[in-house]
Amino acid sequence: MHDIKKNATSTRNWWKQPFRMVQTNLRQPDALYDQHALAREARELGATALLYNIGGIFAFYPTKLELQAVNPLMKGDALGKAVEAAHAEGLALVGRFDMSKATKLAYDAHPEWFVHNRAGKALEYNGTYQACVNGGWYQDYAFRIIEEALGRYEVDGVFFNMFGYTNFNYSGEYFGICVCDACKRRFRAMYDRDLPAKEDFSDPAYADYLEFQDRTARELQGRIYDHIHEVARSVAMTGHRGKCDLIRMEVQRGVSRPQPEWPHQAGEQARWARAYAPDKNASATSANFVDFAWRFHSETAACHTLRMAQQLANGMTLDLYLLGVIEQDDNRPMAGVKELFHWHAGVEDEYRGLTSGAKIALYHSLKSARYTRRKSGGGRADHIASLLSAGATPMRGYFRALLEDRLAFDFVCDEAVEGKAAGPSGIDALSGYEALVLPSILCLSDEEAAILDAYVESGGVLVVTGETGFFDARGESRFRSALASMPVNGVPKEHANMKGAYFRVSAEELPLPDSRLVMLDGRFWEADLKPGTETLMQLLPPQRFGPPELCFPDEESELPGVVIAPYGKGRVVWLPWQPELQYYRDSLPSHRTIMTDVIKRHISAPEVIVEGKGAIEVTVQRQPQGSSLIHVVNYAGQRNNLYEDPPELHGLKVGILGASGETVRLLRSGKTVSLSAPDPDGRRWAELPAIGDFEAIVAGSAT
Ligand SMILES: [Zn+2]
């Protein structure tokens, strides 16, 4: 054991700071790489934490546990040297375990610990075997590996790869669920039935199986967390949902992912992490490679920067993921990443203790993501959804509308609302938000709905679309909305195909002054409205669209496109269609105007307005002393999945309510610009110099 104690204090609590991590996923030969050079290169890159292999599949230290294979190419003790080298450079060392697989050594000794499908086949890939969550490798041997490694090495954190259930291999081939004795036994004990025969809601056991996977994986994670803190109290464990000290996710792409590109993955993950556990630091490592099959072809620096700008703008810190060591065959993005890391090192104090300043939250529902498919049951196709790529979700459609309208917004997640997340529970998860948007959030639990009703009753604005709340927590139909605040009686009648339909609009109703109609596609719901509702727009039912001589409507209708109803001190706005799916597909500004106006008209003016042309994201965060940290992220270099250096944006103006002082500080350009006197709305304006990849604006608070 090397004497590393003298440096260890500098890296203690590394994970409570705005850190910069570099993850090196080491291959067997990388154990021979000079550990001191690696640590020095990480520090020169600007990192504060280095992620380095410990063990699991292959130990990067001389293990005494006979079923854990030792890296056959290692000489001496790679991990020991890496810990010493990292601490000598002032870096925290985070150890990477991969307990999801083991070699033939363990498999031959205990085949029953590993995943087996109905054909009795093990999930083998390149000589490694997938471990079953309920088997002895995960449930017992992993604990011994952790104890040995953390007892011997003073690492500062641990990360676990691919925790949980897998039924695909790295090549994406489907394998089926594990039906080992441990799975069978545990599933029967928990649900009193056999494992599902297929992974499909047509199998009556499938809904239980989804819950089973979640509960057992979460339970194992909790046990591992407790074990780590018994053996090494100050070691931080990264994780996602459930027990962990900090949240760590991954932003990556795959070449076979359906188009169009979703360029907001980083900001989406950052919003989720803050919603799930606002008290935890979080990062999502930016994978340097374009796909698993091509681990050594790098993304561009502009791609990493756009991801990292979204993360900084939404409360995450910085994290880069390389396969192999820092020196890559395709080294092109590294200069750009280094520049960003070094810039962040100089301003990191500005990123401490941030909270969100957003007034709008978009609802993120794990249960809807999991159980919405139950409704279609493989039966009726959803006309508009079938036109969309697999990556499209209602949430992402509304996400784009809010972002492209330059509104600052957060996520609220269902688990946090119900108090099942790792953050503040119950109505606390909703406090501070003037409006919540639930885009086709089908599945609500009774408890969740009651909390949302209480939110509206106390003055909140709930904007819901489509069939929100007409299904229970496991995707079964309800006879009425879960929400008492919903202004409809019973279940609305669905009109399944609105191809050729429109809404009539008027300038008095909505800020669409030069248009008298807006297209409608997909589904529309007709409801028995409760008394006292206000409505906007009227449905023009589907009409003939050919030949041209016959393209005129035979009938109009009184059915509304927007229903607004007071409830307590707040109100519910129901759009009985799915503008979010249409916006995702068609990007029509009229739809965006409707989607954002029904929010904006009911809440206070945004704290920050950015005027001028350009594709930007605007976010607002609060520093502990009350000043605002405003990010303007430049997307002009992104076209579908092409990420190039963005052209500079000129002529942007930022207007801030409640800003004090005479100037604002621009952290990215290092400039200071003056603030105007307040305009009649009390808003003070600053002319922004040219914006490159992004800008971070610090504005003092009047309070
Ligand atoms: Zn199993």
Q: Cα(236) to centroid of ligand 1, in Å? A: 29
Question: Is residue 170 domain-resident?
Answer: no
Mean per-residue pLDDT, 258-273: 95
Res. 2 pLDDT band, cuts 50 70 90: very low
Residue 261: inside a domain:
yes
Query: Of 171-175, 508-512, 565-569, which range is least confident?
Result: 171-175
Last residue in a domain, options 215, 235, 255: 235
108 in the same domain as 94:
no
Mean pLDDT of 265-287: 97
Q: Give whole-number Cα distances, 160 to 224, 229, 402, 640, in Å.
A: 10, 15, 34, 32
pLDDT of res. 386: 64
Distance 130 CA to ligand 1 centre (A): 10
Query: Residue 607 has which token pair?
Result: 């704290």
Specify if 165 maps to a domain.
Answer: no
Asked if pLDDT for residue 287 goes beyond 60, the answer is yes
Q: How far is the CA of 182 from the centre of ligand 1 (A)?
A: 6
Which residues have a beta carbon within 5 Å of ligand 1, which is an ion?
A: 132, 178, 180, 183
Query: Does residue 255 surpass a pLDDT of 60?
Result: yes
Residues 6+ apart with CB under 8 A from 286: 251, 252, 266, 299, 303, 304, 307, 308, 319, 320, 321
Question: Residue 115 Cα, ligand 1 centroid: separation in angstroms?
Answer: 5
Q: How far is the CA of 98 from the centre of ligand 1 (A)?
A: 18
Same domain? For 613 and 502 the reply is no
The pLDDT tens digits for 148-181 are 999 999 999 999 987 789 888 878 888 899 999 9
Asked if residue 1 has pLDDT above 70, the reply is: no
- CA separation for the pair 445, 473 (Å, rounded): 4
As for how many domains the chain has, the answer is 4
Q: Has residue 374 got a pLDDT over 90? A: no
Residue 364 sits in the same domain as residue 407: yes
Both tokens assigned to 636: 């002009």
Q: How far is the CA of 300 from the centre of ligand 1 (A)?
A: 40
- The label of the residue with tokens 């995450």 reads 316
Q: Which domain holds residue 443?
A: 360-600
Helix axis angle, 78-88 to 35-45, nearest 10°: 40
pTM over 0.85: yes
d(CA 179, CA 194): 10
Kindly tell me if the per-residue pLDDT of 118 is higher than 50.
yes
Contacting residues for 108 by C-beta, under 8 A, at least 6 apart? none
Q: How far is the CA of 131 from the centre of ligand 1 (A)?
A: 8
Tell how far the Cα of 179 is from the centroid of ligand 1, in angstroms: 5
Distance CA 313, CA 621 (A): 8
Position 480 pLDDT exceeds 70: yes
CA distance 216 to 131: 14
Note whether residue 169 is domain-resident.
no
* Structure tokens, 87: 């601490």
Q: What is the pLDDT of residues 644-654, one digit of tens each?
A: 999 999 999 99
Q: How far is the CA of 566 from the centre of ligand 1 (A)?
A: 51
Q: Are residues 206 and 317 in the same domain?
A: no
Distance (Å) from CA 92 to ligand 1 centroid = 36
Chain centre distance of CA 240: 10
68 and 142 together in one domain: no
Domain final position from 328, 352, 376: 352
C-alpha of residue 187 to centroid of ligand 1, in Å: 10
Residues 293 and 381 in one domain: no
Looking at the predicted structure, is the pLDDT value of residue 253 above 60?
Answer: yes
* Residues 456-468 pLDDT 10s: 999 999 999 999 9
Q: What is the distance between the alpha carbons of residues 227 and 249, in angstroms, rounded to a whole number?
A: 22
Same domain, 185 and 251: no
CA atoms within 13 A on the CB side of 425: 6
| C-alpha 171 – ligand 1 centre gap (Å) | 21
Which residue type occupies 278? P
**N-to-C CA span, the chain:** 54
Q: Are residues 78 and 110 in the same domain?
A: no
| Predicted local confidence at residue 426, as pLDDT | 54
Residues 289 and 420 in one domain: no
At residue 25, the 3 state secondary structure works out as strand
Residues 493 and 594 placed together within one structural domain of the fold: yes
Residues 184 and 322 in one domain: no
- Condensed to tens digits (0 to 9), the pLDDT of residues 408-455 reads 999 999 999 998 877 665 558 999 999 999 999 999 999 999 999 999
Distance of CA 134 from the midpoint of ligand 1 (Å): 6
Between the CA of 195 and the centroid of ligand 1 the distance, in Å, is 10
What does the pLDDT look like over 518-558, one tens digit per residue?
999 999 999 999 999 999 999 999 999 999 999 998 888 99
At residue 383, the pLDDT reads: 59
CA of 145 to the centre of ligand 1 (A): 21
